[in-house]
Chain A
Amino acid sequence: MKAENAKLVDTYENKLPFSVLEEIKNSVPDSASKENIKTILEETFALYLQAKINPGECVGLVSAESIGEPGTQMTLNTFHFAGVAEMNVTTGLPRIIEIFDCQKTIKTPMMEVYLKDPKIENVKALALKIKETKFSEFVTSYSLNIFEQNLKVTLSRELLDDHGLDVKDMIKALKLKAKGFTMESDDGSLTFIHKGKPEDIKDLYNLKEKLKAVKISGLKGIRQVLPVKRGEEYIVLTSGTNLKEVLEMDEVDATRTICNDMNEVYQVLGLEAARQTVINEVYKVIESQGLNIDIRHIMLVADIMCASGVLRGITRYGVVKEKASVLARASFETPIRHLINAALEGEVDALTSVVENVMINQPVPLGTGLPGLITKLK
């Protein structure tokens, strides 16, 4: 398209969506005259106005029905094994509920960690580095000696070498937890001896349990790691999330690494990123179930969840709590509690929305019921 014609198209910037203008620019041939383009734009604009949703249309209701109906076809089965790997993912209806209710702890938190330099060796190294490893994983055997009042722990050489650690690093990591005990390291084993007078054998037993849970390496919360090929490059899938600390690592590509827990994304990347995560995650479920729901419906729900500046679920503690009308809140869940509280506080219901007007049998402010009429008296 010629430059002057492109300029003409740009004058419709505020009237037509960006994607429509792009399409016009790409599909109109160079030979088109200025007049032709003017007509095209005018007609597109007229069609666009026709396609727009009218003021007063109840889009929320349409969304609810559009998501609800295919939702009945969704699997109630929670788990699904993604691909060849033994990584299980919540899908289907349970996942949708999880997202829309904005639950604080989701069933299968996951991250996709991208690398700046996605070579296979780097991916493997990173996978080992971020996996949360507890002390108990390095241990081959514990032996509690009752007569000498000590605890001997034998460590696995191979695992230590894999992680690039040695016995000294272990001592450093365990020092804080093993207060009141002296540690002696031997080739590949650690011996804990009670400082001072030997006391109850129970102390040693408690120490053993405490040591098991000490974190040696990795990031807190990352239970499982799995290097996989995604398109052309290798990435690390993790089960368990710690988005904040992963993004702080030097080798991680902090622009593409994502997480499926919207609350965590909200904390780390902010409201808009959380909104996008909600949309992406819901759409992923819908696609995997072979359903077809227009993305606008999901965008609407996500926008409502983010409207108050905080990420809120569609629950009686979230979005519904924000409603101004007592009757609207009472019609959702736990009606009696809402009514009693409203009565105690002396709340006033302005009856400006839909549900309360349905209840009292009055016209609802939707469609033709929305505009008020004013008569000009002569």
Chain B
Amino acid sequence: MTSPAKHILVPSHVKLSDKEKETFLQSQNLTIKELPKILVNDPALIGSGAKEGDIIRIERASATAGKTFYYRVVING
């Protein structure tokens, strides 16, 4: 099967590096608990090597803003 990541409904999921993660949390004045979540075994994360506690940046095609970034923290299901 072609990987789910190629499907038009699946936006790109990118794992943030530790440094990016720090700067992101600081710039938004957030703690990791407050972010929306995504399960570690989500089909869209296959092959990304994401583990619990990582932040995933999702580049969505938005109907109103053209493209937006959304952030989810990886949790164990």
A-side interface residues toward B, CB under 8 Å? Answer: 17-20, 22, 244, 247-248, 254-256, 258, 265, 267-273, 276-277, 295-296, 299, 303, 306-310
Contact = CB atoms under 8 A, between A and B. Distances in A.
B2 A270 contact: no
Interface string B18-47: 000000000000000000111100111100
B42 A255 contact: no
B10 A254 contact: no
Interface in B42-77: 42-45, 58, 60, 62-68, 72, 75, 77
A308 B35 CA distance: 9
B65 A19 contact: yes
A296 B9 contact: no
A117 to B, nearest CB: 16
A299 B39 CA distance: 20
Interface of B: 1-2, 4, 6-11, 13, 36-39, 42-45, 58, 60, 62-68, 72, 75, 77
B45 A270 contact: yes
A272 B11 CA distance: 7
Interface centre among A270, A307, A309, by most chain B C-beta atoms within 10 angstroms, is: A270
Contact of B43 (A18, A254, A258, A270): A270
A284 B6 CA distance: 24
Given A248-B1, A254-B7, A277-B9, A309 B66 contact: no
Contacts of B64: 17, 19, 295-296, 299
Given A254-B2, A255-B2, A306-B36, A295 B42 contact: no
A22 B61 CA distance: 14
A271 B41 CA distance: 10
Given A19-B65, A295-B64, A309-B77, A272 B2 contact: no
A265 B13 CA distance: 17
B65 to A, nearest CB: 4
15 contacts: A19-B65, A22-B66, A248-B1, A254-B7, A255-B6, A269-B7, A270-B10, A271-B39, A271-B72, A272-B10, A272-B44, A272-B58, A273-B7, A309-B75, A310-B77
B8 to A, nearest CB: 6
A329 B75 CA distance: 25
Given A248-B1, A309-B37, A269 B44 contact: yes
Q: Which 9 A-B pairs have the closest CB atoms?
A: A19-B66, A309-B37, A270-B44, A18-B66, A17-B65, A273-B9, A270-B43, A254-B2, A270-B42
Contacts of A270: 4, 10, 42-45
Contacts of A19: 62, 64-67
B39 A18 contact: no
A268 B42 CA distance: 9
Contacts of A255: 2, 6-8
Contact of A247 (B2, B11, B38, B62): B2
Nearest to A247: B1
Contact of B68 (A18, A254, A258, A276): A18
Contacts of B58: 272
A269 B43 contact: yes
Contacts of A277: 9
A254 B9 contact: no
B58 to A, nearest CB: 6
Interface centre among A254, A256, A272, A306, by most chain B C-beta atoms within 10 angstroms, is: A272
Given A265-B9, A307-B36, A309-B75, A271 B66 contact: no
A207 B65 CA distance: 61
A308 B62 CA distance: 21
Contacts of A18: 65-68
B54 to A, nearest CB: 13
B6 A254 contact: yes
B43 A307 contact: no
